[in-house]
Structure 1
Amino acid sequence: METLQLPFIHKQKKSLKDRIKYHFLSWLHLTNEPVLKVYRGFGNESTLIIHGSMFRRSALSRKKYRPSIWLNFFGLIRLFLVRPYPHATIRVYAGGQIAETQTDLDGYFRVEVSIAQPLLPGWHVVRAQCIAKEGRSETVLAEGEGTVLLPHSAAFACISDIDDTFLVSHSAALFKRLKVLITRNAHTRQPFEGVVEHYKMLAEANRTDGATNPFFYVSSSEWNLYDYILEFSKKNGLPEGVYLLSPLKQLAEVLKTGQGKHMTKFMRIVRILEAYPDQHFILLGDDTQEDPTIYASVVKHFQSRIRCIYIRQVHQKNQPKTREILSQIEAMGVPCCYFAHSAEARRHSVESGLTAL
């Protein structure tokens, strides 16, 4: 990886008031120290897409996952007590290049880094710093490290929703969704039966080089839940992939968690397809919200590049509408599988030649 020298971080001495506040927040498992989080990014032979969030206040990483309702409740609330750092200068070191950008009002940043030489397929380390500039002098307020995926050549890549697609979430019922969020954690939440096996089949399909078909997880869940979802995915053995979530929410908006703008989800999917113009894709979602409608729009724009669409049956009320939309998609030449159990989806993948037994 690149050998660029990163500037030294200057740390200011804390006052007594600051130290007391620091210990109080630590007791709550929060920190008021500037924190720069770099999410998993993706790229191709010419461009790396690096993104992340800068925080004035953020939750400390959770180390223990005990089956306690109160611990899970406070664990969730902490994720929505974050305070973003808007208009911060972010300097990114990736692929032997340096790029700068600014965070938006939510503390989020996204930058495309042009690289002179293509990188090998696989995961590559990238680094970022938050820079405070005063005249000609600079102070590094925080730094973070992440990874960026350059996919191996593959027969297809997968783009999957998260809530109620592989993670049981009750997205169509607000109070059920909040109940499962509050009473369970990343280790006690459950995936749908058989879904992990299906995703592993897709990831490993037709591969002889030891690499896996790439996975992109695109969701209306907020960046507040990034570490939560990452831990759940790791705990349950889902294929490693890139996660693209929705803007941060504050505590007052916790009742609206998972209710992101679906048009932005469509645009995130489009960015993935545009990054890999020669790649075919499989789309996976569910019928609780707008996945069928979003995927229909994707097919209209990228018809020849969508191999198949999988939609999980979760919300009975939406089934007639979903079947109508999927019929329209199939009329455009893209096969669909509308299934109640993952065993049906696995069988479809085998019978359609996407995967082997």
Structure 2
Amino acid sequence: MRGGDKGEGGVIVHPYRGYGSHTEAFIMGRVFRQPGRLMKWEKGGAARDLVDVTRRLVRHGVRDARVDIRLGATHATVTTDRDGYFHAHIDITHTLPAEAIWHSVKLEVLSEDDAISTETEIYIPPASTDLIVISDIDDTVMYTGVANKLKMLYRLFMEKADRRTAFPGVAALYRALYGGAEGNRKRPMLYVSRGPWSIYEVLEMFFNMNRIPVGPILFLREWGMTLKRPWPRKAEDHKSDVICNMLSLYDTLPFILIGDSGQRDPEVYTEIVKMHPDRVRAIYIRKVDDDPQRDAAIEALANEVKHAGCELILARDSVSIAEHALAKGYISEEGCEAVREDTHRQQQQ
């Protein structure tokens, strides 16, 4: 059994970054089998890319593997589900270092074949946290072409991290939101995607390459795609469930939600505001189409959320979002200026 996917076959364990508070933590990962990379394609090229995509899609989860988890003096044991995923909800029984926001977690995974020890990290917001940001990824942070399903699937699975394209100014915008008005808030930045967990590594590389605060979570979903079941499982309410869970976990903090106009982000976010009035300060919707009827529908939603103490802003670019955030005190003047400069520079390229 190996930790992480470096192209080898066999049984592999891949823990994802966790998150939590000073009283509870959530850790997730997967134990799976996959075929190894064929030697004649080791030198790269389109053939190897296609093989790597196929390998990730046909990963076979190892069910009923035991996962022992230790976070300092706190210990828990869980088992993997039928798809090889493990989900641990741990009640923290000891005091964590107050100054740290990342905490090391040790895992030992036991299956019928082997055992392995590995580590991951969980993110716990500092006491100074004043706001939590939850953002969509697809056509909000980077282009995936949600209006064209085949293009979206190609970009999700075939494009490497260095060929994916971030929206102009988005990295500077998210850094500004991460830092807040003082520049050092280190706010939790949580990201949600319709994409499958098999693209987790690519998204991590994309965020790092573009200097987008990853801090800490990518909430993806299990498509359940195999050779016997080649179509994704439905994931209704995936985004809504993630956001509601975060509102419950961080129940004393306000939120900002970011999405795009191409899908149902405005509708999903509006329903969340209605269910949790006074918890969402702003909704930023990136305009990715030129449909007057869609604009009118989003404007109607903006009027609905006003009654719950929330502003919904339909924005054509990152600068519009940054200027509103600056006016509301969510980011600094320096952060806003960085968004203007980055957007201009990228648009000139």
TM-score interval for Structure 1 and Structure 2 normalised by the shorter chain: 0.7 to 0.9
CA separation in 2, counterparts of 1:77 and 1:89?
A: 27
Match in the other structure for 2:101: 122
Q: Which letter does structure 1 place at the counterpart of 2:104?
A: V
For the residue of structure 2 that corresponds to 1:293, the secondary structure is helix
Moved more, 149-158 or 71-80: 71-80
CA separation in 1, counterparts of 2:255 and 2:75?
A: 31
CA separation in 1, counterparts of 2:263 and 2:228?
A: 19
Match in the other structure for 1:290: 264
Q: Count the aligned residue pairs.
A: 320
CA separation in 2, counterparts of 1:58 and 1:126?
A: 28
Cα shift at 1:239:
0.6
Q: Which letter does structure 1 place at the counterpart of 2:72?
A: G
- Whether 1:179 and 2:151 are equivalent positions in the alignment is no
Match in the other structure for 1:332: 308
Match in the other structure for 1:309: 283
CA separation in 2, counterparts of 1:340 and 1:256?
A: 33
Q: TM-score, normalised by structure 1?
A: 0.81
CA separation in 1, counterparts of 2:35 and 2:265?
A: 31
- Whether 1:168 and 2:147 are equivalent positions in the alignment is no
Moved more, 187-196 or 100-109: 100-109
Q: 1:168 to 1:349 in 2, by over 3 A?
A: same
CA separation in 1, counterparts of 2:36 and 2:300?
A: 43
CA separation in 2, counterparts of 1:260 and 1:193?
A: 32
Aligned 8 A contact 1:36 1:143 in 2: no
Cα shift at 1:94:
1.4
Q: 1:131 to 1:68 in 2, by over 3 A?
A: closer
- Whether 1:268 and 2:245 are equivalent positions in the alignment is no
Cα shift at 1:249:
3.4
In structure 2, which of residues 15, 22, 44 is the aligned counterpart of residue 38 of structure 1?
15
Q: 1:91 to 1:115 in 2, by over 3 A?
A: same
Q: Which letter does structure 2 place at the counterpart of 1:44?
A: S
**% identical equivalent positions:** 25
- Whether 1:349 and 2:328 are equivalent positions in the alignment is no
Q: 1:243 to 1:181 in 2, by over 3 A?
A: closer
In structure 2, which of residues 84, 100, 110 is the aligned counterpart of residue 131 of structure 1?
110
- Whether 1:190 and 2:165 are equivalent positions in the alignment is yes
Runs of 4+ in 1 over 6 A off after TM superposition: none
Q: 1:253 to 1:222 in 2, by over 3 A?
A: farther
CA separation in 2, counterparts of 1:179 and 1:37?
A: 24
The Cα RMSD (Å) is 2.8
Q: Which letter does structure 2 place at the counterpart of 1:282?
A: I
- Whether 1:87 and 2:61 are equivalent positions in the alignment is no
Aligned 8 A contact 1:35 1:143 in 2: no
In structure 1, which of residues 236, 245, 248 is the aligned counterpart of residue 210 of structure 2?
236
Gaps of 5+ in 1: 1-8, 12-25, 61-65, 134-138
Q: Which letter does structure 2 place at the counterpart of 1:81?
A: V
Q: 1:48 to 1:183 in 2, by over 3 A?
A: closer
CA separation in 2, counterparts of 1:175 and 1:218?
A: 21
For the residue of structure 1 that corresponds to 2:163, the secondary structure is coil
Map 1:86-105; keep pairs closer than 5 Å. 86-105=63-82
Moved more, 139-148 or 107-116: 139-148
For the residue of structure 2 that corresponds to 1:73, the secondary structure is helix
Q: Which letter does structure 1 place at the counterpart of 2:224?
A: K
Cα shift at 1:253:
9.3
Q: 1:287 to 1:262 in 2, by over 3 A?
A: farther
CA separation in 2, counterparts of 1:90 and 1:105?
A: 14
Match in the other structure for 1:299: 273
Q: 1:108 to 1:204 in 2, by over 3 A?
A: same
For the residue of structure 2 that corresponds to 1:90, the secondary structure is strand
Q: 1:244 to 1:89 in 2, by over 3 A?
A: same
Q: TM-score, normalised by structure 2?
A: 0.83
Q: 1:149 to 1:72 in 2, by over 3 A?
A: same
CA separation in 2, counterparts of 1:54 and 1:132?
A: 9
Cα shift at 1:201:
0.8
Aligned 8 A contact 1:35 1:142 in 2: no
Q: 1:182 to 1:271 in 2, by over 3 A?
A: closer
Cα shift at 1:71:
4.3
Q: 1:118 to 1:161 in 2, by over 3 A?
A: farther
Aligned 8 A contact 2:64 2:111 in 1: no
Match in the other structure for 2:347: none
Q: 1:275 to 1:289 in 2, by over 3 A?
A: same
Moved more, 277-286 or 326-335: 326-335
